[in-house]
Amino acid sequence: MDMRTPAPNSRVGRRWFFILCVLAGCVSMICGLPVRANPPNIIVILADDLGIESIGDGTYWPNGINAITPTLDRLAAQGRVFSHGRVNPKCSPTRAGLLTGRIGLHTGVTGLQVGTDPDTVRLGLQTEETTIGEALKQVGYQTLFVGKWHVGNYGPWGQQAQQQGFDIVEGHKDYQPLDDPVDVGDELVTMLADVAIDVVNNRATRELPYALFLWQLDPHGRFDHTYQDPFLWWRVDESLLPSGEPYYEPNRLDDNEVERYRAVVEAYDTELRRTLFEIGVIDADGDYLSESNTVVFFLGDNGENDKVSPWPERAKGTVYEPGIRVPFFVFGEGVPADGADSSRLVMHTDLFDTICDVVGVPAELRGDRPRDSVSFADAIGWSDPLPERAYQVLNQEDEKTSGNPYDQRVALVGTQYKLIAQAGGTKLAPLSRDEFYDLVADPQEQHDLVVEGMTPEQHTAYLTMRDAIVDYWFTAVCEPTEQMVDIPMSHAMSLVDTNDVFTRRLQLGHAYPDQVESAIEARVFYRFNTAKIDDLLPPDKTLDDVASAQVVVAFGEDSTQSIEVDTDLIQAYPVVLNWYTKQLTWGELENAYSDTVVGAVDLAPHVVWKPSDPRLSGPPMSPGTPMSLGHNSSLLELVKRWHEVPTENHGIVLIARPDMTIGGDQHVTLLPAAILRLTLK
């Protein structure tokens, strides 16, 4: 009997699944075996700078570059294709999101991790994050990593793959120096294929299932530092080209970047076929071998480089479609082999929970931090129907436009519409002009509806997405629209547990001063002038016409004490005593709040910008950046109660509890600017 057959969410399978989880969980705790019976091997293939213009015969993706990719075409046709799969427009945030199931604003990896000088490189993925490698190891998988990591600098800070849950690591930097652009050219694609074959076929613990993360550097370009070859893409061995085109005829004068890139893509396609064949996943014809018991995920890490993209102004590095839509498909064990093209919205972060669902990683082993991962295990045959994501969210660092490296352009993508907004600003001021596109009528984003005008249906969709974006990227807070009413703050104070003194400096979190064993806690209190609601609502509207409520605050700064590590969730609770007269002590207010959470925000972890200086740097936000605590139905009910009984309006308190899993908590400050935003139906 194949114990994967009863899906865990089916009425028939729930009882069996529960029994199996209990039994297998006991076995797992005893001997480290996976929770799911007969678990499949997992392969995650991430191609570098491979967008939808670089692959396919036109069935799923446009392939405007006209590369010949028979392997990828055949593999996609044997599984499930997600032609609306999207990733970040740059490498590092995609990789960090795939590894953790968390977007860059939560991990702190919002842009490229570049450079080699430890005094100028921001460290990448922090060690307190739970990676998919760590999750898989906990249920008995041998985890293998081959290729380009790029989410942390080399050095003694625990940022490399071998310190983030991978048993065997073969990085591309160990092989790249062997690549000679003058001799043959791009030999790295072959070298890393050889390495992947070796680590799978010669691994010591063959009785365990394996998870291979094959992240080739190709088809990413790289200049010849000997300056003997002027092109960004090096030549490849022509025997690897399935097209058979003579790209490199002797004395050819019209050699160009696009043809070089095409050749690298085709060589990559050929070597991927050899890799999967030699590790026993596919046969000589390129068809999946069920005896391999393997599920293979394939995607690109961002769109094509602007030197080769048919849309150079909207390519890699931008949140337009050519920068974020990539080939994305799954084939292998249990996956329907019908080549169906799903219109489902999936993104790189979703691989975390999808893989965990496929192999049976229990929820408690997936980490305790909020994830931005939505499993699509049901779409690949490994679950009964699951909730689908309503939107995808992708970010782009916007230093070139704004001059501030913390500012972000954020794209919120739905099944039809796409909103691009600026995430940054000062003291809750308007952020920027939005862009809004109808991807069904205008897939190439040539008509910005904010500029050209909207139909009533489009306008409704725009307002809905503009209000929803803060639930996906909490700094993307806009100026009020006609559907929003902003209730002003009437009081804002902070109280520290050591002196019972209220202060206008809004301190939040925990500090661990030198020579002090216990933490010093600070909390922030806000009260909003709900007496103004009737005056601020449109004349024909009441609170019954309000659909949702959110609190928006302004980020100030983070502390720089070297012994602080991170903050847990910042959560908001209703206060039940009058604090704004400043007559109560910490002891009286410490527990003077209800247990209903009316908002929360997950700040990115602190990181070290300069290892020579132990001070920590905080979330990727500049002072004044607005932060939404998210839409919350409990907050709306609380506002209605305050409006009905004004004497009960004691506002909210923000609390950041210590994160005991890492033994410390950072200390942040907020600016004295906040609003209670109501959104009308």
Return d(Cα 541, Cα 501) in angstroms, integer. 41
**Which candidate, 491, 555, 501, 554, places its Cα nearest to that of 526?**
491
User: E strands, 224-353, where?
Assistant: 294-300, 328-332, 341-342, 346-347
Q: Concatenated DSSP letters for 21-81?
A: HHHHHHHHHHH---SSSSPPEEEEEEETT--TTSS-SSSSS--TT----HHHHHHHHTSEE
Distance (Å, rounded) from C-alpha 592 to C-alpha 588?
A: 7
Confidence of residue 31 (pLDDT cuts 50, 70, 90): very low
Minimum mean pLDDT among 103-107, 155-159, 333-337, 555-559: which range? 155-159
Q: What is the pLDDT of residue 406?
A: 67
Q: What is the mean pLDDT of the chain?
A: 85
Q: Which is more confident, 185 or 545?
A: 545
pLDDT of residue 127: 78
CA distance 445 to 419: 11
Helices (H), 560-622: 586-589
**Residue that wins the pLDDT comparison between 670 and 567:** 670
Under 8 Å between Cβ of 95 and 267: no
| Cα→Cα distances 596→571, 579, 599, 635, Å | 10, 18, 9, 9
% of residues, the chain, pLDDT over 90: 62
Q: What angle do CA 536, 482, 466 make, to 5 degrees?
A: 125
Q: Counting beta carbons within 10 angstroms of the beta carbon of residue 442, is it exposed (0 to 12), middle (13 to 18) or buried (19 or more)?
A: middle
**How many contiguous H segments (helices) and E segments (strands) does the chain have?**
15, 26
CA distance linking residue 554 with residue 293, whole number of Å: 51
Q: What is the model's pLDDT at position 362?
A: 96
Domain boundaries, given as residue ranges, for the chain = 1-35, 39-389, 398-471, 484-680
Span 579-607, average pLDDT: 90
State phi, psi for 190 to the nearest 5 degrees: -75, -40
**Banded pLDDT at 162 (limits 50, 70, 90):** confident
* Lowest-pLDDT choice from 145-159, 242-256, 362-376, 657-671: 657-671
Contact 384, 375 (CB under 8 A): no
**What pLDDT score was predicted for residue 401?**
58
Q: Are 34 and 20 in contact (CB under 8 A)?
A: no
From residue 369, give the alpha-carbon distance in Å to each of 103, 132, 601, 659: 12, 13, 11, 10
**What is the C-alpha separation between 87 and 393, in angstroms, rounded?**
9
Alpha carbons 522 and 495: distance in angstroms, whole number:
6
Average confidence (pLDDT) over 631-635:
95
Of 11-15, 169-173, 174-178, where does mean pLDDT reach its minimum?
A: 11-15
For 177-287, where are the alpha helices, taking DSSP H only? Answer: 188-201, 257-278
The 10s digit of each residue's pLDDT in 247-281 is 776 655 567 899 999 999 999 999 999 999 999 99
**pLDDT confidence of residue 663:** 43
For 172-178, the CB contacts below 8 A with 24+ separation are 172/147, 172/148, 172/216, 172/217, 176/217, 176/222
Cα torsion angle, 506, 511, 514, 518, sign: positive
Buried b (16+ CB within 10 A) or exposed e, 448-485: ebeeeeeeeebeebbbbbbbbbbbbbbbbbbeeeebbb
CA angle 222, 92, 670 (to 5 degrees): 140
DSSP 8-state assignment for residue 111: S
Does 26 have pLDDT greater than 60?
no
Residue 8 pLDDT grade (very low, low, confident, very high; cuts 50, 70, 90): very low
Among 155-164, 361-370, 632-641, the least confident range:
155-164
Among 339, 389, 378, which residue's Cα sits nearest to residue 83? 339
pLDDT of residue 378: 97
Please report the pLDDT score of residue 18 as a whole number. 36
Q: What tokens does 61 get? A: 């993706």
pLDDT (tens digit per residue) in 347-366: 999 999 999 999 999 999 99
pLDDT digits (tens, 9 = 90+) for 447-476: 999 999 999 999 999 999 999 999 999 998
Structure tokens at 533: 């609601």
Range with lowest mean pLDDT among 343-347, 421-425, 554-558: 421-425
Confidence grade of residue 24 (pLDDT, cut at 50, 70, 90) = very low
> Where does the pLDDT of residue 610 fall: very low under 50, low under 70, confident under 90, or very high at 90 and above?
low
CA dist 286 to 77, 280, 300, 335, Å?
Answer: 11, 11, 20, 16
Six-digit token string for 322:
């050519």
Cα dist from 423 to 112, 375, 430, 622, 675, whole Å: 18, 27, 10, 11, 17
Q: What pLDDT score was predicted for residue 4?
A: 32
pLDDT of the residue at 238: 87
How are strands ordered across the β-sheet holding 80-82? 168-171, 142-147, 210-215, 41-47, 294-300, 328-332, 80-82, 341-342
What's the confidence (pLDDT) of residue 518?
63
Residue 39 has pLDDT above 60, yes or no: yes
pLDDT band with cut points at 50, 70 and 90 for residue 1: very low
In 3D space, the residue among 299, 218, 313, 226 whose CA is nearest the CA of residue 260 turns out to be: 218
Considering the domain 39-389 in this protein, what is its CATH number?
3.40.720.10
Which position has the higher pLDDT, 273 or 226?
Answer: 273
Minimal CA–CA distance to 650: which of 527, 504, 501, 487?
Answer: 527
Q: Read off φ and ψ for residue 27, nearest 5 degrees.
A: -60, -40
How far apart are alpha carbons 660 and 572 in whole angstroms?
19
In this predicted structure, which of 238-242, 267-271, 310-314 has the lowest mean pLDDT? Answer: 238-242
Q: Please answer whether residues 524 and 653 qualify as being in contact, where contact means their C-beta atoms are separated by less than 8 angstroms.
A: yes
Q: Do you find a cis peptide bond into 456, omega within 30 degrees of 0?
A: no
What does the pLDDT read at residue 106?
A: 87
Residue 278 token pair: 């030699």
Residue 115 is predicted with a pLDDT of 55
What pLDDT digit, counting tens, does each position of 395-445 carry? 998 766 555 656 788 999 999 999 999 887 655 555 557 999 999 999 999
Q: What is the pLDDT of residue 666?
A: 61
